[in-house]
C-alpha cells in the first residue's frame, strides 16, 4: 500500500484505481461501468462478456486484502441504466455476497442515474462525512474537499524511450479525481481542459508504484482568486516527475 494524503486525510493506494481510507475502514472506487460489454453487444459490437465478473473479482480481492467494512462506489457503477437488471448471473451472485458482507454505498452517476441497489447496497447522490464530500463528478466551487470520478484520468509517461498510458489520480487543493476502476473503461488525458475546469486551480497527476507515489505537475494555472503577481499562467506538463516517498504522508 502506498500512502496518499488529501485534505488532511490519509489514504492508501491499494490498486491502480482504488483507495483504502483507514479513518472510515472504507474502500473507494469509481466508474465500474459494469455490463459495458453487454451494452455494446446489444448495439452489434461484440466484446468479451466477462468485464463485470473481472471487475467484481478484483474488488472482492481488495476487500479481503484491506478488510474494508464500507465500500464507496463513486458513480457510473453500471454502463447504462438497464445494466443493473442485466448483470450477468455469476457477477450478480458475487455482488450480492459482497453487499451483504459490507456497508456498500452506490453513488449515482451520469450513466446510471436510476441505480436502485437491486443486488444490495445503499444508493445516494453523494456522501458527506469526516469533512469530505464523495460524489460522481467534481464541482469546481465545492465547499468541502471532494473525491470524485467521472473523467477516467490517464497520463502518458515516458518509459525506456517510449510512452505508456497509465491510470492516474488527479489531486488539487480541494479535489481528488479517481481513475476508472472498471475492466473495460477508457481514459481522458489528465491535463485535458475539462479536468482543468473541474479542478479549478493547480493540480498534479499521481501514479502509485510499489513503494512510492509519482507526482506530475499538470501545469494548470491558478484561478483569478488564486493568482499572484508575476505568476505564469502558461500550461505545461512538467517532466521529469517528483516522487512522494512512502515515509512522507503529506503532499
**pLDDT tens-digit readout, 137-189:** 999 999 999 999 999 999 998 778 888 889 999 999 999 999 999 987 889 99
In 3D space, the residue among 214, 109, 220 whose CA is nearest the CA of residue 155 turns out to be 214
Q: What is the pLDDT of residues 41-67, one digit of tens each?
A: 677 766 667 899 999 999 999 999 999
DSSP 3-state assignment of 166? strand
Residue 93 belongs to a domain: yes
* Within a domain: 250: no
Considering the domain boundaries, does residue 251 fall inside one?
Answer: no
Query: Among 25, 119, 45, which residue's Cα sits nearest to residue 77?
Result: 119
Q: Are strands 153-159 and 203-208 parallel, antiparallel or unpaired?
A: unpaired
Whether 247 is in a domain gets the answer no
User: Angle CA(167)–CA(170)–CA(173) in degrees, nearest 5?
Assistant: 170
Q: How many independent structural domains does the chain possess?
A: 1
Answer yes or no: is 249 within a domain: no
Cβ–Cβ under 8 Å, residues 31 and 75: yes
- Domain holding 81, by residue range, is 2-225+233-242
Q: For the whole model, what pTM was predicted? A: 0.87
Residue 219: which of 198, 242, 240, 196 has the closest Cα? 196
Amino acid at each position: 500500500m502506498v500512502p496518499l494524503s488529501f485534505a488532511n486525510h490519509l489514504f492508501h493506494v491499494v490498486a491502480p484505481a482504488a483507495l483504502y481510507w483507514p479513518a472510515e475502514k472504507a474502500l473507494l472506487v469509481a466508474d465500474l461501468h459494469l455490463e459495458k460489454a453487454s451494452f455494446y453487444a446489444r448495439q452489434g459490437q461484440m466484446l468479451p462478456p466477462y468485464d463485470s465478473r473481472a471487475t467484481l473479482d478484483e474488488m472482492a480481492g481488495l476487500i479481503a486484502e484491506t478488510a474494508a467494512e464500507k465500500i464507496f462506489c463513486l458513480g457510473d457503477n453500471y454502463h447504462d441504466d438497464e445494466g443493473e437488471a442485466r448483470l450477468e448471473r455469476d457477477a450478480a451472485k458475487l455482488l450480492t455476497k459482497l453487499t451483504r458482507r459490507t456497508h456498500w454505498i452506490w453513488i449515482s452517476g451520469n450513466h446510471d442515474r436510476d441505480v436502485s441497489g437491486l443486488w444490495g447496497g445503499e444508493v445516494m447522490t453523494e456522501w458527506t462525512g469526516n469533512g469530505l464530500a464523495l460524489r460522481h463528478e467534481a464541482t469546481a466551487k465545492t465547499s468541502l474537499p471532494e473525491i470524485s470520478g467521472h473523467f477516467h484520468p490517464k497520463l502518458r509517461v515516458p518509459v525506456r524511450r517510449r510512452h505508456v498510458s497509465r491510470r492516474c489520480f488527479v489531486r488539487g487543493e480541494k479535489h481528488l479525481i479517481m481513475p476508472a476502476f472498471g475492466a473495460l473503461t477508457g481514459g481522458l488525458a489528465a491535463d485535458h481542459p475539462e479536468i482543468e475546469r473541474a479542478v479549478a486551480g493547480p493540480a498534479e497527476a499521481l501514479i502509485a508504484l510499489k513503494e512510492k507515489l509519482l507526482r506530475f505537475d499538470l501545469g494548470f494555472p491558478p484561478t483569478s482568486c488564486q493568482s499572484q503577481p508575476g505568476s505564469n499562467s502558461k500550461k505545461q506538463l512538467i517532466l521529469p516527475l517528483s516522487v512522494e516517498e512512502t515515509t512522507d504522508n503529506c503532499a
